[in-house]
């Protein structure tokens, strides 16, 4: 990985890594947690007749390699697929954690890194497998999307303000770019040079991204995955779910 791209090879990723791939000719990225055994746990909108969101992926009806590919609980958007079905012929990228502010600013596109530190891989995998059994609530493109899911699995952090933007760097970029352009537009009267206006707009965009990063925000708290599942109202006792999650991890490793 470098400043220009986070692209990696399959041999570079390890269980517990936050990975992503681009969809629709780099229009947006889809994120997930690699849990080993060529399997990925990720979050998408549950398919219904009245939704056609870009982030809703086509789950494999029959994977020729893994019979459990596409497993999910009823009405849950958290799904287990193989790496091939997750990528859908796209390239593989690795999300970076614990980057310095200078590196964060250098990554112009949102949804590629965070200043927040990652928890140990075993904790990350436990969260992903637990949420595979319990769900991650309702999908929302701005407040609860696939990147939010992966960020929570990696850090255990949730935003307190449910009305604001979520943890997703992609969502922050979508909101931040028009906001920066809007805020910088009055400066056109003071700056005759288009280059000056563009520089100010770019600076505001970067600052808006940085201000919403989970490693910088003050409205985030650490929430145990067991408490998160209970608060989301998913059924099933804690002991039963824990047993199911352990069994799933063993099956994945095979």
Q: Which of 69, 82, 85, 146 is catalytic?
A: 146
Q: What angle do CA 186, 192, 196 make, to 5 degrees?
A: 80
Structure-derived torsion over alpha carbons of residues 135, 140, 143, 146, reported in degrees to the nearest 10: 60
Q: Which of 31, 42, 85, 113 is catalytic?
A: 42
Q: Which of 30, 85, 113, 153 is catalytic?
A: 30
- Please say if 30 is a catalytic residue: yes
DSSP state of 49: T
- Please say if 31 is a catalytic residue: no
Q: Taking a C-beta distance cutoff of 8 angstroms, is the pair 56, 177 a contact?
A: no
Which sign does the torsion angle of CA 163, 161, 172, 121 carry? negative
What gap in Å lies between CA 101 and CA 76, rounded to an integer?
A: 36
- Please say if 126 is a catalytic residue: no
Which residues are known catalytic residues?
A: 30, 42, 146
């Amino acid at each position: 990985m470098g400043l220009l791209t986070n692209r990696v090879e399959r041999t570079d990723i390890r269980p517990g890594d936050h990975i992503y791939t681009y969809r629709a000719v780099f229009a947006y990225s889809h994120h997930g947690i690699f849990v080993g055994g060529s399997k990925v746990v990720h979050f998408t909108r549950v398919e219904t007749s009245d939704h056609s969101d870009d982030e809703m992926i086509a789950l494999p009806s029959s994977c020729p390699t893994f019979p459990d590919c596409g497993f999910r609980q009823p009405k849950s958007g958290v799904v287990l697929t193989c790496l091939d079905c997750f990528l859908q012929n796209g390239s593989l990228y690795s999300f970076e954690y614990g980057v310095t502010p200078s590196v964060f600013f250098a990554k112009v596109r949102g949804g590629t890194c965070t200043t927040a530190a990652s928890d140990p891989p075993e904790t990350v995998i436990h969260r992903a497998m637990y949420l595979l059994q319990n769900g991650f609530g309702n999908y929302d493109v701005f407040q609860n999307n696939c990147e939010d899911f992966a960020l929570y699995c990696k850090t255990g952090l949730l935003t307190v303000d449910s009305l604001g933007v979520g943890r997703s760097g992609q969502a922050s970029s979508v909101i931040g770019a028009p906001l920066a352009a809007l805020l910088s537009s009055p400066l056109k009267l003071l700056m005759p040079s288009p280059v000056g206006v563009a520089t100010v707009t770019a600076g505001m965009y970067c600052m808006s991204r940085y201000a919403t990063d989970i490693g910088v925000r003050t409205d985030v708290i650490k929430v145990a995955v067991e408490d998160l599942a209970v608060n989301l109202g998913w059924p099933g006792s804690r002991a039963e779910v824990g047993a199911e999650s352990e069994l799933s991890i063993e099956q994945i490793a095979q």
